[in-house]
């Protein structure tokens, strides 16, 4: 039986590991290589490495960092941050990533998804979207640049569903770093809109129970950063909680 | 010496790193004429069946591999797309011929099971692990999969399975030919044990 995954998320500001609150206030957490080594020793299911400043600063993720992190990983590694073209993707994969995560670029160039799937295969391409609520409580897409996003959440999900990508990573910006639980309504909504592609969720996990709730709301995998950086919970303790809730996991 | 075949369609670094970690002597071969006399062969791969099979034919890998594997009986391990290429034909990217080591076809997962989320991605158990590659796993038979196409075997050969709502071929063995749908190089300790078994027990 397929096991539900718990995926640590490692965010970079270029070279250091950082953790934000609602994509704003941040704390510095040191060297990504050490972090990756610890996660590998803890036998985690997978790892996601994202450079959250790359797009804003108009650069790509540092490939040397990708290379050294990949060398620590005997599990799948997803890398994202500033990827704009198939050539960028090819270089990131050559540096040792198994999959790439595309985010901001899809608002400017949605065709890149189809192009990338054709060149690298769907299994290689993850689309990541950041969602928040507007003042009326309606879900909207968050933009990492100054540019306004003209796509609604529904339109974006339709485009993703038809682009044949491998996975979708859904993050709630309002819940980011707040550690009050995942946005279960959002997870429920997205998993009903997209039935053909596995869904990874992020944003807000504060305890192993939150991970179980996210899976029960329709997620195919959960990811978290603060939960593992700032509490004594580990990916394993999350999975123990999930196992007790009859969710199949790899222990 | 294990020769790792590089079809230049995907990143083979993680396979090499796993072999290095295990202290298994290896080299990369990207041109059939440099093949020499390897003890073992590994055909790794992620990517598109159509592209890969065209590449194998245009570079002459198909004829060379038939000679090494079917006549000289060099043990070969196919990983993911590498395993799928052992089939007679594949349907990904339009129908194209495989190496035909195993009477099988490679079809889209959703073509017979339309409510599956595809790709089949994540860690899954492998059952009926009675091949030498699965020795000494001590019950840790969970491996990392990521694929949208499955091998459908049409002859009587040894196979191991994973369940994703339906049974999917996870591994297949026919004499010196062994293939795994999952990625041992990305499957932590269980994966390293499997690669070690291939090197030492086949």
- Tell me which DSSP letter residue A143 carries: P
Task: Please state, for a pLDDT cut of 70, what percent of chain B lies above it.
Answer: 100
Q: Which residue in A has a C-alpha nearest to residue B93's C-alpha? A: A118
pLDDT bracket for residue B105 (50, 70, 90): very high
The mean pLDDT of B120-140, rounded to a whole number, is: 92
Domains and CATH numbers, chain B: 2-201 (3.40.50.880)
Q: Where are the beta strands (DSSP E) in B34-119?
A: 40-43, 76-79, 89-90, 96-97, 104-108
Q: Nearest by CB to B123, from A5, A196, A220: name it.
A: A5
Mean pLDDT of chain A: 94
* Tens-place pLDDT, residues B2-12: 999 998 877 78
Which of A86-95, A121-130, B69-78, B109-118 shows the highest mean pLDDT?
B69-78
Give the relative orientation of helices A63-70 and A32-41 as an angle to the nearest 10 degrees. Answer: 20
* Residue A121 backbone phi and psi in degrees, to 5: 90, 145
Cα gap A93→A79, rounded to integer Å: 9
Output the CA torsion sign for A38, A90, A200, B162.
negative
Q: Using DSSP, state whether A26 is helix, strand or coil.
A: strand
Cα gap B8→B47, rounded to integer Å: 10
Question: With an 8 Å Cβ cutoff, are A166 and B144 in contact?
Answer: no
Cα gap B192→B198, rounded to integer Å: 10
Q: Does A3 touch chain B (CB under 8 A)?
A: yes
Catalytic residue list contains A87: no
Task: Please state, for a pLDDT cut of 70, what percent of chain A lies above it.
Answer: 100
Select the residue from A123, A168, A193, A220 to test the B interface by mutation, using most B Cβ atoms within 10 A: A123
Q: Nearest by CB to B121, from A71, A198, A250: name it.
A: A198
* Residue B14 backbone phi and psi in degrees, to 5: -70, -30
Q: Which of B10, B142, B150, B185 is catalytic?
A: B185
Nearest partner of B81 among A112, A75, A123, A90, judged by Cα: A123
Q: Does B146 touch chain A (CB under 8 A)?
A: yes
Give me the pLDDT at residue A119, please.
84
Q: How many CB pairs under 8 A join A and B?
A: 96
Task: Please state, for a pLDDT cut of 90, what percent of chain A lies above it.
Answer: 87
Q: Which residue in B has a C-alpha nearest to residue A248's C-alpha? A: B124
Q: Which of B10, B80, B120, B147 is catalytic?
A: B80
Residue B128 pLDDT greater than 90, yes or no: no
Distances (CA, A) of A190 to A129, A139, A147, A155, A248: 11, 11, 24, 12, 22
Give me the pLDDT at residue A108, please.
86
Question: With an 8 Å Cβ cutoff, are A75 and B144 in contact?
Answer: yes
Question: With an 8 Å Cβ cutoff, are B186 and A4 in contact?
Answer: no
Q: Does B183 touch chain A (CB under 8 A)?
A: yes
Mean pLDDT of chain B: 94
Q: Nearest by CB to B188, from A3, A43, A220: name it.
A: A43
Question: With an 8 Å Cβ cutoff, are B117 and A197 in contact?
Answer: yes
Q: Where are the beta strands (DSSP E) in B59-200?
A: 76-79, 89-90, 96-97, 104-108, 120-125, 142-147, 149-153, 158-164, 166-174, 177-180
Give the relative orientation of helices A235-244 and A208-216 as an angle to the nearest 10 degrees. Answer: 50
Cα gap B146→B9, rounded to integer Å: 16
Question: With an 8 Å Cβ cutoff, are B117 and A220 in contact?
Answer: yes
* Tens-place pLDDT, residues A226-248: 999 999 999 999 999 999 999 99
ipTM over 0.90 threshold: yes
Give me the pLDDT at residue B11, please.
77
Q: Residue written as tokens 């009326």?
A: A136
Residue A145 pLDDT greater than 80, yes or no: no
Task: Kindly report the nearest CA distance between residue A134 and chain B, in angstroms.
Answer: 30
* Tens-place pLDDT, residues A47-76: 999 999 999 899 999 999 999 999 999 999
Select the residue from A40, A67, A74 to test the B interface by mutation, using most B Cβ atoms within 10 A: A74
Residue B69 pLDDT greater than 80, yes or no: yes
- B73 burial level (CB within 10 Å; 0-12, 13-18, 19+): exposed
pLDDT bracket for residue B141 (50, 70, 90): very high
Residue B193 pLDDT greater than 90, yes or no: yes
Q: Which residues of A touch B187 (CB under 8 A)?
A: 74-75
Write the CB contacts of A242 (distance below 8 Å, at least 6 apart in sequence). A4, A6, A208, A211, A212, A215, A249
Cα gap A142→A133, rounded to integer Å: 9
Domains and CATH numbers, chain A: 5-244 (3.20.20.70)
Q: Residue written as tokens 């807000």?
A: A204
Give me the pLDDT at residue A249, please.
97
Q: Nearest by CB to B186, from A2, A74, A122: name it.
A: A74
pLDDT bracket for residue B97 (50, 70, 90): very high
């Amino acid at each position: 039986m397929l096991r539900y995954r718990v995926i640590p998320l490692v965010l970079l500001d270029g070279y250091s590991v950082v953790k934000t609150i609602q994509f704003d206030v941040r704390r510095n957490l040191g060297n990504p290589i050490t972090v990756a080594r610890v996660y590998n020793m803890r036998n985690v299911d997978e790892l996601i490495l994202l450079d959250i400043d790359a797009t804003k600063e108009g650069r790509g993720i540092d490939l040397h960092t990708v290379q050294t992190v990949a060398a620590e990983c005997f599990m799948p590694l997803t890398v994202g941050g500033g990827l704009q073209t198939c050539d960028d993707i090819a270089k990131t994969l050559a540096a040792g990533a198994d999959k790439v995560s595309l985010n901001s670029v899809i608002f400017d160039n949605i065709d890149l998804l189809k192009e990338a799937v054709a060149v690298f295969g769907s299994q290689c391409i993850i689309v990541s979207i950041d969602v928040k609520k507007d003042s009326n409580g309606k879900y909207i897409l968050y933009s990492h640049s100054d540019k306004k996003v003209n796509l609604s959440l529904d339109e974006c999900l339709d485009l993703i569903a038809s682009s044949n990508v491998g996975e979708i990573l859904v993050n709630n910006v309002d819940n980011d770093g707040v550690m009050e639980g995942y946005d279960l309504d959002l997870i429920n909504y997205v998993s009903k809109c997209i039935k053909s592609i596995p869904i990874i969720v992020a944003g807000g996990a504060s305890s192993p129970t939150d991970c179980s709730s996210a899976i029960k709301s329709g997620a195919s995998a959960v990811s978290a950063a603060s939960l593992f950086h700032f509490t004594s919970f580990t990916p394993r303790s999350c999975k123990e909680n999930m196992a007790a809730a009859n969710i199949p996991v790899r222990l | 010496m294990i020769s790792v075949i590089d079809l230049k369609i995907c990143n083979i670094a993680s396979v090499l790193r796993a072999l290095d970690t295990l202290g298994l002597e290896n080299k990369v071969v990207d041109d059939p004429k440099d093949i020499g006399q390897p003890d073992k062969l590994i055909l790794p791969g992620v990517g598109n069946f159509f592209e890969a099979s065209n590449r194998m034919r245009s570079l002459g890998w198909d004829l060379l591999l038939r000679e090494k594997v079917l006549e000289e009986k060099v043990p070969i391990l196919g990983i993911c797309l590498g395993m799928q290429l052992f089939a007679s034909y594949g349907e990904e990217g339009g129908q194209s011929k495989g190496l035909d080591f195993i009477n099988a076809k490679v079809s889209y997962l959703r073509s017979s099971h339309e409510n599956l989320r595809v790709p089949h991605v994540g860690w899954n158990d492998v059952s009926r692990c009675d091949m030498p590659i699965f020795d000494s796993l001590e019950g840790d038979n969970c491996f990392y999969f990521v694929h949208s196409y499955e091998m459908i075997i049409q002859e009587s050969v040894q196979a191991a399975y994973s369940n994703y709502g339906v049974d999917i071929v996870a591994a297949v063995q026919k004499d010196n030919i062994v293939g795994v749908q999952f990625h041992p190089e990305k499957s932590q300790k269980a994966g390293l044990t499997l690669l070690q078994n291939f090197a030492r027990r086949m």
